[in-house]
């Protein structure tokens, strides 16, 4: 097919080939699995060993589902790096010029990257989320309360863990498209995900909590919990579907801004 006449299906195949053929994808997927499942094992094992000594309030607020999904907090970083590298690696190596020469319609290129990354991230993230849940509940069994997928909001929380990681990957892709620099995009992603919550926590709760509700980290907690979170003084976190919609809006917004800048700027 002549350059400039790629169909979307051809762009998808091209992006899939790129994603699966680079070592960074393998390492990011491996890191997501190790962090998500491995750290979930540590969290549930620690909870199981200390359960008898926990206070009444801690036992009342204990969420076995969220505890088993603790490792997803660190899996976020690996998925974010994968999202960034999906496009920033091409800008760094200059191969983006060849991509855009073959497919001059830049929104098509970005859309293909988003679809391929989104499907790959969803598959890996859901697998890690379910594995973390089942392994974690097995460890808690006999020592602390456990959950089953048929329990109230449990299946939603486990699926929500995978959805949240997927949306973070797409958000990172949007950031990298905007910034076009690997280190800068990763730094920005980490700052939004981890640094902003720390800065926000330094403010009084009356000021900090209304802001914290809109941070990705808080929305991730809302999507992976069966017990609504609250600061016990002011506002509760968003419910699951509100958090999912808002996180989706962040991801789409970053991709749209990145797409507009991609069209207007030189490769």
Asked whether residue 3 is assigned to any structural domain, the reply reads no
Report the distance separating Cα 49 and Cα 58, nearest Å: 14
Instruction: Region of 153 please: left (phi>0), alpha (psi -120 to 50) or beta.
Output: left
Tens place of pLDDT for every residue, the chain, 267 residues? 444 456 888 899 999 999 999 899 999 999 999 999 999 999 999 988 888 888 888 787 888 999 999 999 889 999 999 999 999 999 998 899 999 988 989 999 999 999 999 999 999 999 999 999 999 999 999 888 899 999 889 999 999 999 999 999 999 999 999 999 999 999 999 999 999 999 988 888 888 888 888 999 889 988 998 886 544 444 457 888 999 999 999 999 999 999 999 999 877
- So what's the pLDDT on residue 74? 87
Confidence at residue 51, expressed as pLDDT on a 0 to 100 scale: 85
Q: Domain range holding 44?
A: 8-264
- pLDDT for res 235: 47
User: What total number of domains does the chain contain?
Assistant: 1
Within-domain flag for 206: yes
In a domain, 1, yes or no: no
Residue 109 belongs to some domain of the structure? yes
63 inside domain:
yes
Tokens 């899939």 belong to which residue? Answer: 16
In a domain? residue 2: no
pLDDT at 236: 54
Q: 95-123 burial, b for 16+ CB within 10 Å, e for fewer?
A: ebeebbebbeebebbbbbbbbbbbebbbe
Flag whether 239 is in a domain: yes
Distance (Å, rounded) from C-alpha 236 to C-alpha 126? 26
Q: pTM of the entire structure?
A: 0.91
According to the model, what pLDDT value does residue 57 have?
A: 80
Q: Is residue 127 assigned to a domain?
A: yes
> Which residue in 15, 148, 17 sits closest to 87, CA to CA?
15
Give dist(CA 125, CA 8) in Å, integer: 25
- In this prediction, residue 16 carries a pLDDT of 94
pLDDT of residue 229: 58
């Amino acid at each position: 097919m002549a350059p400039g006449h790629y169909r979307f299906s051809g762009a998808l195949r091209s992006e899939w080939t790129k994603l699966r053929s680079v070592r960074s994808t393998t390492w990011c997927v491996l890191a997501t699995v190790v962090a998500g499942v491995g750290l979930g094992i540590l969290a549930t094992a620690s909870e199981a060993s200390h359960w008898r000594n926990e206070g009444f309030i801690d036992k009342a607020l204990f969420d076995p589902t969220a505890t088993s999904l603790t490792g997803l907090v660190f899996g976020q970083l690996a998925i974010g790096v994968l999202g960034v590298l999906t496009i920033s690696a091409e800008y760094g190596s200059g191969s983006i010029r060849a991509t855009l020469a073959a497919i001059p319609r830049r929104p098509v290129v970005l859309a293909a990257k988003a679809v391929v990354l989104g499907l790959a991230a969803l598959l890996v993230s859901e697998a890690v989320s379910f594995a973390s849940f089942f392994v974690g509940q097995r460890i808690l069994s006999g020592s602390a309360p456990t959950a089953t997928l048929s329990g109230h909001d449990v299946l939603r929380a486990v699926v929500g863990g995978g959805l949240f990681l997927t949306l973070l990957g797409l958000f990172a892709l949007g950031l990298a498209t905007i910034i076009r620099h690997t280190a800068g995009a990763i730094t920005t992603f980490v700052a939004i995900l981890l640094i902003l919550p720390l800065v926000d926590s330094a403010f009084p709760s009356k000021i900090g909590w209304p802001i914290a509700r809109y941070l990705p980290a808080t929305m991730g907690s809302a999507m992976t919990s069966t017990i609504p979170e609250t600061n016990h003084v002011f506002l509760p976190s968003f419910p699951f579907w509100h958090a999912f919609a808002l996180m989706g809006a962040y991801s789409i917004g970053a991709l749209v801004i990145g797409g507009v800048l991609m069209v207007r700027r030189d490769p």
